[in-house]
Amino acid sequence: MKTVSDYFGSMVFDDKVMKSMLDENIYNTLKRTIKDGRSLNLSVANEVANAMKDWAISLGATHFTHWFQPMTGITAEKHDSFISPDKDGRVIMEFSGKELVRGETDASSFPSGGLRATFEARGYTAWDATSYAFIKDGVLCIPTAFCSYSGDALDQKTPLLRSMEAINRQTLRVLKLFGNEDVTSVKTTVGPEQEYFLVDKQMFTKRKDLVYTGRTLFGAAPPKGQALESHYYGVIKPRVQAFMNDLNEELWKLGVLAKTEHNEAAPAQHELAPIFATTNIAADHNQLTMEIMQKLAKKHDMVCLLHEKPFEGVNGSGKHNNWSISTNTGMNLFEPGDTPSENAQFLLFLCSVLKAVDDYQDLLRISVASAGNDHRLGAHEAPPAVVSIFLGDELTEILEAIEKDQPYGAKEKELLRVGVHTMPKFPKDTTDRNRTSPFAFTGNKFEFRMLGSSASVSAPNTVINTAVAEILKQFADELENAENFESALHDLIQRVITQHKRIIFNGNGYDDKWLAEAQKRGLLNLRTTPDALPHFVDQKNIDLFTAHKVYTEREMHSRLEIQLQNYSALINIEAKTMIEMAKKEILPAASRYSQLLSATIISKRSVCETLDCSYETEILTDISARISKAYKHLKALEKALATAEKTQGAAAQSVYYKDKVLPVMAKLRSEADVLETLVSADCWPIPTYGDLMFGV
């Protein structure tokens, strides 16, 4: 039998393959270029491309593609075959260095937010050589970044790579101050835990809302929801287990370190967590994971729902973004140290995150904003829309002791001086177990928990990296000029604690009392996507991203535009789907059932005038009234939608959809959901919540 270690990474053109297939000089040049992030010279690129092609063909590949992540949120690919005619009219298989390193793409149909005039339709993709090429479905995929010809980023990856550069630069400056001369580069690491739902394919296809929007727009609560919590970590059903086995195998072949799988809180909800990787690779792998989940679910006659809120009244799906910084010497910068100097360094990095999260609450919130995620954040199941940090009681008390120059702990009589005293040990497992915090310190990494399940992890990590880079820059500027490093460090840490401790919250984030408290502390509460997004281009945020060369101001405006348009477009589709379902399925079904009831009443009466028809009449009366109300909301929705479509300006339009369209959708839904409980099961035209959630 083949073991996992036999096939792990078998579809990846990784270091081992490169070493075995490339001439030693070529291999070394390639490695050096990757390490320094410079571009590859053409003769080396030709050699690499040729080896890649031979390797891919030996594994059955016939095509190649530049694989990239445009602003649509999904990955894009355009397949080209390796074939090329030879002079005898036969074909040979070719792949040049030029084709490997750079691709041309007609970019006119990808969202650009006005960055590209229509006459300048070309964009190009450039190989991200730090992420290995791989074979998927017989196609050699080359991970790339996607830009316009004028150099504007049109994708998620370019800014992410730039932000990794920024944090590398600033972290190295700070590390030098602590005497880490051997560290030459740092990389941020990410382990994204991915939640998803599985539903039966037959039932899925019968629901237009799921087909068009990925979430149910109607549906009465089933008698059994997640109330018993019986699903969480429960025994995995055979059909789901078979899917998970396939999924693991495919992911392992692609070198994705899929590690844990379990049932989640809601029925039919599951989670997959990989072992963490360098951020851009983790982002690529998460995109692949989502894609392969969807593909393999179909093979098992199921559909994988990645939407943030497929079912109302049931937990939605998120993505926990575990984040840390590692050095090339293997040090995790958020691992509390054993010596005073290691502690001091740890505390400074901890403070950089504290300040970054406080200064850029808005950007963190914006980086996870989407129409889908608006159904989760602040809805008593996911972190609130207010950003705060969880540090745990012990660490918080240590910071307080440092801030106030007070002794810490019962035994500790001395004051805690940074860089002089070893920090008291705090047990790791006291770190966040309440899981309601949006940004939790979990022992040696931070867990950002506000991400929606369907989104790329690129945008949130671009924000975290850049924000922390900026704070580290400020720290380095101050400390590099200090006369006495030790005391400057102590003062800086004290000051950061005093100024930013308002962002620390260790209590229950789902509690309404917290929202009131957060408001008192002056923390932002950007509840919805239209509330949050416009702050992206606030001057302080433009200053941040341009200073660290992560986004140009033009790119920021274009991204804002794309996201606002996305929001409106999604709600537009949802509203139209609702109208169609209400008109063609739900109201006709209720009307048909009314006819049955009336016919029954008439026929009963014809048998005997005094036969009791209370059941039929009461239900009929209720249904008739609900149909009228639903119809009224339906017409109101059509009207609101017409106005929404005509509203000028992306921001104003998104606000209109939020304030005027969504509430009418909710009203229509609530009548329809009551109708579902009144109409007989055999007349109801679409699978119910019970069918969907317990049907696998």
260 binds, among Mg ion, ligand ADP, none (CB under 5 to 8 A by kind): ligand ADP
The single residue among 275, 602, 625, 666 that binds ligand ADP, judged by CB under 6 A, is 275
Instruction: Give the C-alpha distances (Å, rounded to integers) separating 618 from 350, 429, 615, 621, 629.
Output: 64, 58, 5, 5, 17
66 binds, among Mg ion, ligand ADP, none (CB under 5 to 8 A by kind): none
The contacts of residue 567 (CB under 8 Å, 6+ apart) are 370, 371, 529, 530, 533, 654, 657
The whole-angstrom separation of Cα 55 and Cα 40 is: 20
The single residue among 26, 52, 115, 190 that binds ligand ADP, judged by CB under 6 A, is 190
Give yes or no for residue 445 binding ligand ADP (CB under 6 A). Answer: yes
Q: Which stretch binds ligand ADP (CB under 6 A): 156-164, 273-281, 551-559, 587-595?
A: 273-281
Q: Please work out the total of residues on this chain that contact ligand ADP, with binding judged by CB under 6 A.
A: 17
When the beta carbons of 323 and 593 are compared against ligand ADP, the nearer one is: 323
The whole-angstrom separation of Cα 523 and Cα 362 is: 10
Shortest Cβ 359–ligand ADP spacing (Å)? 22
276 binds, among ligand ADP, Mg ion, none (CB under 5 to 8 A by kind): ligand ADP
When the beta carbons of 324 and 456 are compared against ligand ADP, the nearer one is: 324
275 binds, among ligand ADP, Mg ion, none (CB under 5 to 8 A by kind): ligand ADP
* x/- letters, 318..337, toward Mg ion (CB under 5 A): --x-----------------
When the beta carbons of 109 and 260 are compared against ligand ADP, the nearer one is: 260
* x/- letters, 309..348, toward ligand ADP (CB under 6 A): -----------x-xxx-------x----------------
When the beta carbons of 322 and 577 are compared against ligand ADP, the nearer one is: 322
The number of beta carbons lying within 10 Å of the beta carbon of residue 685 is 15
SS3 197: strand
Site residues for ligand ADP, window 170-189 (CB under 6 A)? Answer: 189
Contact status, residue 504 vs residue 389, Cβ threshold 8 Å: yes
H or E segment and range at residue 358: helix 340-359
Shortest Cβ 476–ligand ADP spacing (Å)? 23
111 binds, among Mg ion, ligand ADP, none (CB under 5 to 8 A by kind): none
Residue in 687, 689, 662, 74 with CA at minimum distance from that of residue 375: 662
Shortest Cβ 246–ligand ADP spacing (Å)? 21
The single residue among 56, 199, 273, 471 that binds ligand ADP, judged by CB under 6 A, is 273
Burial class of residue 71, CB neighbours in 10 A (0-12, 13-18, 19+): buried
Contact status, residue 131 vs residue 286, Cβ threshold 8 Å: no
565 binds, among Mg ion, ligand ADP, none (CB under 5 to 8 A by kind): none
Amino acid, single-letter form, for residue 444: N
The contacts of residue 422 (CB under 8 Å, 6+ apart) are 338, 339, 340, 343
The single residue among 276, 346, 408, 657 that binds ligand ADP, judged by CB under 6 A, is 276
- Tokens 């006495």 belong to which residue? 484
Shortest Cβ 192–ligand ADP spacing (Å)? 7
Q: Which stretch binds Mg ion (CB under 5 A): 38-46, 170-178, 187-195, 332-340?
A: 187-195
Shortest Cβ 357–Mg ion spacing (Å)? 17
436 binds, among ligand ADP, Mg ion, none (CB under 5 to 8 A by kind): none
Shortest Cβ 331–ligand ADP spacing (Å)? 11
Residue in 225, 193, 226, 147 with CA at minimum distance from that of residue 457: 193
The single residue among 123, 274, 372, 438 that binds ligand ADP, judged by CB under 6 A, is 274
Contact status, residue 390 vs residue 440, Cβ threshold 8 Å: yes
The contacts of residue 678 (CB under 8 Å, 6+ apart) are 590, 593, 619, 622, 623, 626
Give yes or no for residue 460 binding ligand ADP (CB under 6 A). Answer: no
Shortest Cβ 677–ligand ADP spacing (Å)? 37
When the beta carbons of 320 and 445 are compared against Mg ion, the nearer one is: 320
Q: Which stretch binds ligand ADP (CB under 6 A): 200-208, 338-346, 440-448, 630-638?
A: 440-448
The whole-angstrom separation of Cα 64 and Cα 80 is: 5
DSSP string of 467-525, one letter each residue: HHHHHHHHHHHHHHT-SSHHHHHHHHHHHHHHHHGGGB--S-TTSHHHHHHHHHTT---
Shortest Cβ 320–ligand ADP spacing (Å)? 6
The contacts of residue 446 (CB under 8 Å, 6+ apart) are 322, 323, 324, 334, 353, 439, 440, 464
Give yes or no for residue 95 binding ligand ADP (CB under 6 A). Answer: no
593 binds, among Mg ion, ligand ADP, none (CB under 5 to 8 A by kind): none
The number of beta carbons lying within 10 Å of the beta carbon of residue 370 is 22
Amino acid, single-letter form, for residue 568: S
When the beta carbons of 444 and 598 are compared against ligand ADP, the nearer one is: 444
Site residues for ligand ADP, window 101-120 (CB under 6 A)? Answer: none
SS3 165: helix
DSSP string of 379-424, one letter each residue: SSSS--SS--EE--HHHHHHHHHHHHT-B-SSS--SB--TTTSPPP
Catalog residues that contact Mg ion under the rule CB under 5 A: 193, 320
Catalog residues that contact ligand ADP under the rule CB under 6 A: 189-191, 193, 260, 273-276, 320, 322-324, 332, 444-445, 447
